[in-house]
Amino acid sequence: MITLDDAWRWYETTRTHTQAFGRLGSKHWDALPWDGQLGSDDKLRNLESDTIVEGAAFCLKHLDDFAVLVLFSVFESVVRDRILSEVQDERVRLRHSMLVRIVDEAVQDMEHGSFSRLLDVFKGRGKELDGLVEEVNQVRRYRNWVAHGRRTARPDAVDPRAAFDRLRRFLQELAGPKDQP
């Protein structure tokens, strides 16, 4: 997935199809016409409705957390790429070797360093942006909690819709007026 919209589409499609498969298992599985091609399918004929329902419930139980993880990962990649592109545009204009070296070191940090530090650059530009950075950081903390095995105290929960909306607003802010529709 390359864009935040791709990640959101993945989440919605996965949720919808998993819910549909669970419903098929709970409401219709035993009534399907198994005397034909359906009954000959090696992947389907041995499935039982209870197994389908339990599997769908298990997937749905964890899907929202993993959606936040995926959404934030795609977001982080997009933000890093945009900032790096802008910095590289500025770098080509530099002449002094010391400035070039400083920018090259900063580029390394932007590519591989702490994303939290990268977000901190946007603080102090106004109350509204500061609030948005904190909302994005809340998503980041929740993503980190999921990504690292949910071993520590749970941070403030963020559902996929809230995560998507916050991250999209930040990307719109990052794009600025020139890229707005």
pLDDT at 128 over 60: yes
Instruction: Say if residue 61 is exposed, middle or buried (CB neighbours under 10 Å; 0-12, 13-18, 19+).
Output: exposed
What confidence tier does 180 reach under pLDDT thresholds 50, 70, 90? very low
Q: Which of 102, 122, 103, 113 is nearest to 171 (CA)?
A: 122
pLDDT at 179 over 80: no
Mean pLDDT of the chain: 91
Q: How far apart are CA 77 and CA 163, in angstroms?
A: 15
Q: Tokens standing for 147?
A: 């990504």
pLDDT digits 0-9 by tens, 42-66: 999 899 999 999 999 999 999 999 9
Q: How far apart are CA 76 and CA 2, in angstroms?
A: 11
What is the percent of the chain where pLDDT is above 70?
97
